[in-house]
Amino acid sequence: MANPETPSANPPPAVTARHLMRSIDRAALATNFAVETGTLPYASLVLVACDLDASPMLFISEIAEHTKNLRRDARASLLFDGTVGCEETLTGSRVTVLGDITPVFDPDLRARYIRRHPSAEIYASFHDFNLYRMCVTRAHLVAGFGQIHWIEADQLLHRGNDTAWLRAAEDDVLRHMNGDHAATLDLYAERLLGQVGTGWRLTGVDPEGADLRRGGTVARLDFPAPVGDAETIRQAFIALAQSARRGGTSQ
């Protein structure tokens, strides 16, 4: 898993939460399990990808218990745990995201999820697997002792410029970076993110950064500043490459 530490010393709580959500490729899903006497909390492990605005997405089987629960009651929460590797677990960051999780039939979102989780390609043709997306209500961030914040959806989700251009351009960006700049991706991973090995691939780009993957390991590469068009993406990757070649600093 990626190092989920935040990219700057004192970012706003919403930035910290989004960075954590984008950095981690799995979460604990809590749904409402119906029993004769009412409902009980039901927790399960799911693989997660984020939409361009950071809305969480799941690719899940209709016969799974958590999916049956969501079909009855769409209200749910996702816990993104960034405490792995912390010497003192409770000093690490974690965020619980609350909202309604419902099916979404969008080939672009489906493709984005599968790029994040290549193993999902195996299930993509199964009739009982569907993509679900959370309509976020709010989130609860615990970023260490005394750093506890409720964050409303309009703050949590990235609300920059219209991202239709990025959804249309993302495939070309990934093809270009993976095809022509594979060595640079390895350099980002090593010098900027403290990762090891070669063969890193770019799996997604959003207004705030890019997602990398090597086998079962994911890593998050933050841009120096949010991007608003294809040219600023190019400039961001160039600036990161220059930083990496100077030695870089681990995020």
**Neighbouring C-beta atoms of residue 178, cutoff 10 Å:** 14
Report the distance separating Cα 152 and Cα 18, nearest Å.
12
Q: Which CATH architecture has domain 13-156?
A: Roll (2.30)
Predicted TM-score (pTM) of this structure: 0.91
Q: What is the pLDDT along the chain (251 residues), one digit of tens a residue?
A: 445 544 556 789 999 999 999 999 999 999 999 987 788 999 999 999 999 999 999 999 999 999 999 999 999 999 999 998 888 888 889 999 999 999 999 999 999 999 999 999 998 888 899 999 999 999 999 998 788 999 999 999 998 667 889 999 999 999 999 999 999 999 999 999 999 999 999 999 999 999 999 999 999 999 999 999 999 999 999 999 999 999 865 45
Question: At residue 166, what are phi and psi to the nearest 5 degrees?
Answer: -75, -35
- Give me the DSSP letters along 69-134: HHHH--EEEEEEEE-TT-SSGGGSEEEEEEEEEEE---HHHHHHHHHH-GGGGGTTT-TTEEEEEE
**What's the Rg (C-alpha) of the chain?**
18
Within this chain, domains 13-156 and 164-245 share the same CATH topology? no
CATH label, 164-245, candidates 3.40.50.620, 3.40.1280.10, 1.10.3720.10, 3.20.180.10: 3.20.180.10
The full set of domain ranges for the chain reads 13-156, 164-245
